[in-house]
Chains A and B, each alone.
Chain A
Amino acid sequence: MNQLKVKAFELRQVVLDMIVRSGGGHIGGDFSVMETLVALYYNQMNISPENMDDKDRDYFVMSKGHSVESYYAVLADRGFFSTEQVVNEFSTFGSKFIGHPNNKLPGIEMNSGSLGHGLPVCIGIALANRMDGRKNRVYTVMGDGELAEGSVWEGFMAAGHYKLANLCAVVDCNGLQISGTTEQVMNHTKLADQIRSFGWHVTDADGNDIDKMIAAFEEAKTVSDRPTCIIAHTVKGFGGGALMENQAAWHHHVPTKEEYDQITAELKARKEAAEHE
């Protein structure tokens, strides 16, 4: 059984419950980025509720902060807070579980939401840890639509300049944003080449294949003279079936009762299939 593959489908159900109960969220990107988060939090990163204040911990900043539901689901399952609490309290009046990452919650390093902040912040984190001679690693996840923000490219430039080998950025490349395809909205004709030209190691991976993502993160660790960017090719809404996969409208669509049942059944089927792998 591929346990992490199973885990990714289980946590999508938590995301679905959170969004349907609260009546809001960004389900499409939540589902596309899930394997990236599961690979990081269950396989790659040295982070847990026990060591979350240790200076040697690995750092993660969710730059595409609107995918907070998937981030909350992962953190809850890893024990930073309770899954039941986050499902019940997400986006409710006065809740700490707000609709973008909130660093008043355990396990969340930085507030985000406005796009184009995570990479530059992680450069500061990576620089600080290198100054202190630490061997820990720093991760951020951006959306492909987010790459239109100029500050992202200030970040690519500076991380390359400083040869931050302890930094790994993931682009959750699901090809869709709120207005349509990224190709239509603001195209990056040769994304890998563009990032590579800033002094980065760039590798492509199937971002919804947990083993491929783990392999990409392992590859990043072998690069000693430059930062790594993983272009994670994902499907927006992955796991939700034909109803929501690759549909721009599902960027922040809230499923109806019928859709909820349909997605739940799809997730269950995929989870069971993974259990038999």
Chain B
Amino acid sequence: MTENVLEMKGVTKIFPGMKAVDNVDFTLKKGEVHALLGGNGAGKTTLMKILAGVYQAEEGTILIDGQPVQVNSRRKSQELGIAMIFQELSIIPNLTVAENLFLSREKKKGITLDQKRMHEEAKHILDSIGLHISPMKIVKSLSIGERQMIEIARAISTDAKIIVMDEPTTALTKDEQEKLFELIKRLKTRGTGIIYVSHRMDEIFEISDRLTVLRDGKRIETAETKDMNMARVIDFMLGDEKFANDEVAKEKSKNRSKKTVLEVKDISFKKFKNISFEVFEGEILGITGLLGSGRTEILRAIAGLDPFTSGIVKLNGKECNIKSIQDAISQGIIMVPEDRKNEGIIPGMSIQKNLTLTNLPNYFPNGLTKENREREIANKNILELNIQPKNPNKHVGKLSGGNQQKVVISRCLNLKPKVLLLDEPTQGIDIVAKTELQLLFRSLARQGMAIIVVSSELPELVALADRTIILYNGQITKVLDDDEITDKNILYYSTGGSLS
């Protein structure tokens, strides 16, 4: 029997109003790759943050090499041999590779830094994982993939027993991904345990030995990867959501209008080239692709945030010259941004003030606000979208993610958009609010609104989109229609399937 390097028993973490992690057991053997799966909000990240010492669990025990331990700080976690490689890289761009590798554990000679020794050791570590990069190089000049390798090198240099990789391949090219997998195999032979968090089924089936599926904070299933198949894993991941998604999918309209509302012709900007597509009246058009494929950038360009440099956008046959957000708003092109906390809500303001913000000059053309009129509008919005709590004076920062999103969407709808642009509209939102919102989008479409949804959640696109555009490296590789929109097709084309 192989030895367990990590055992988590009955771990529970409670956030106000919800159990983010609910009595979860999780084990990791030496030299094993254990994949951790689950939809957004399933509790994967929370569980890993408990392991990283970022959060403390309310209940449960953690054993490392059979010894019970207290992981009560980030530092403690590192001392216990746990290394985290998060999606957002934590290396410092303007330091050198060696400086990054030894950050906070610099080698010293007396009171000065021992640069020479650090370079030598860095070189040794990099060689040992087959990475031929000079330790003197400034990290800024490396590719994202190389930077990720540096992070892994850092983990190895701390003699980590457990390495957690959170969506490590999102920003990698195919080549870099293969390199990463080779490295993972090498780490396995050294006896390092790896927890591999990912959405991408194909990778999980390629690299993992076992997998655990979480849903709503609970552990649903742990099994040997070779005994599982994709369809079963997806069933485990979705649970009730599968039914909810079916509900949404049922609402798709059968006979769709062929009247073009928005026409995008040959637009280009930094991250995308010659993008053309149309959105019809009453249609929900999905746009997807990997991180960095340009999916968000296209939306931002149309919404006037980062105006495109060439090409044209036509609204109802007329060219609209969008140079700023105000231009887009005044023509009825309204965007719900992805980064809800920074770009969507103003957390310190009340629900009411957030709701009326966009349209304030229209409600009060003479520039003077009226409390009663504002309250009226806010209360109407609160009822329409079932925003909880129903108190217009509550600060938006204190609401749940789902309700914050409802505030943002409601605010946008007050402008009576002709085209609604949604960027990851249900990210980090609980299943109930999520279904409510998806049904809302569908009913808006039925009333004739043209909607574009950018999403990285495959089940959402499958349930919601009438057509889906797939991007790869800033270009459209495929447009899927109706029944062609399946998890498998989206995955295939968004990883460059048609090109390779």
A and B held together in a complex: no
- B interface residues (Cβ-Cβ under 8 A, vs A): none
